[in-house]
Structure 1
Amino acid sequence: MLSPNSVYTSKKLGHYIVTILTIIAGSTVVATQINLGNRYRGFTITQLISSYNIFCSIILTSQFVCSVLELWSRFRTLNGQLLESLSCVGRPGLSQLLLGWRKRGNGEDLAARLRRLQHVHLVLQRAAELLQAHVSPAVTFHLMYSVVGIIYGSYELLVVSQAQNRAESMIISPSTSYSLCWLVHHLFDLVALTVSCSILEDEEMQASVLLRRAVGIEETVPQVEAFLRQIKRGPAICFTASGLLPIDRRLLVSAVSAATTYLIVLGQFGLR
């Protein structure tokens, strides 16, 4: 069921994300050890906690994002198989215009193929539900930590740039490199979590789009209508932070907006 191209794409994206996470985490650890070591004159418990925190962050983000990308690649293959099966429905010209297929398939055993794809869709939905249940508490805490880290990291950069003479009494470390590394670390974690969930949800919705258009082309295929009813009545894939808010691109926009708002308020009142 899983095509080699989808496997390659999923693994390639996963390797890129893990590599970037490792580089950012390594830079953050080095900046933390250097700046806090210089400030407190030696190794402290704060440095140990920071390093352990970064390590846990890499493990959680990489495992969750790679699992989501694996589901995305399987839904992508499912949609490719569905498109190939539906290409034989209706008149060729209208079917190609609405569905966007490149090569028209044959209509043999269409009902059986669609039934198998229904089963695959159910299995993938169940896999997404299990992943959500397994990681929801940890991901919720990590998202909150990332958002707070973005806000505080932005504030540190503001203090360093606007009130250098008071920076040591207001923030953890009056170092631009230290603040910038932590800000990038938190921001990339948030981007990886939200964007991966969003592309999975978009790919899962593509199946219903294809089926709706196929029903519009020709309404006399019962298995197409049954597949569409299954998707409509079943729960759509939506990763949430313990049911409090959806994890998607809107969360990223909200986090950036919140950070900007707090930064303006803190800049107006906190630096006086």
Structure 2
Amino acid sequence: MNRDRIILYTGLTIVTLLLLLSLIGPYLNKWTYYEQTLQRANEAPGWEYWFGTDALGRDLFTRVWVGLRISFIIGIAASLISVVVGTVYGAIAGYFGGILDEVMMKLVEILYSIPFLIYVILLLLIMEPGIKTIIIALIIVCWLGTARIVRGEIVRLKEMDFVLAAHSIGASNWRIIFYHLIPGAAGSIIIMLTITIPEVILAEAILSFLGLGVSAPKASLGYLINDGFQSIRSYPYQLVFPAAVITLAMLGFNLTADGLRSFIDPNVKK
């Protein structure tokens, strides 16, 4: 087995295990996500509380896996929608070219120039804080990178023989875009998706850490890291466990993206 396969399979294994734990982890012990036992607050990891407890006596093991589930939901949902929007937008700009292409890509540049926190703050002013608001804010930003990549791929692909052949048999522009060009750029789109998911998860964690993300009683990994950071001197395990899990998630998705790139992108040296 070569190095690229090892990287890909390692990344897929990490991601798969974390996905499974986010689903079944909260049910592996008797404690529930919301259950508080104040007399057991800030208890160190042990046989009863595997990851210890937080300041309200809640089981940290259960909360970490539920938090990972929330982070995955936000990361995967926002990434999928972002990639779909960016793919369609970039494909239209790249295929039609000319003034339309210039206007569409100028809009992308303008949106890129606005700091991400501005979008979040504006959305929080008009919407209630929560998972939906964070997903919308992340989508507004994350589709821009996909649009640039896909636009470049479409510009390259539209001069190829299979597109000229589709033109010659009378295929419409939209059929060429959706049935020929976008499938032809599928490799780059898949790579962008695997790259976008960890970026979104990390961005959500940062927002939650700053108090702009998922609000209590729900808690993503960023929220748990913020909680642990407040008591790092006295109870470092409250920071270590959620931080370790989000680090593993980042590692798994990035290894998967690197492995896929080596198989899909012909420009990557084997």
Larger of the two Rg values belongs to structure: 1
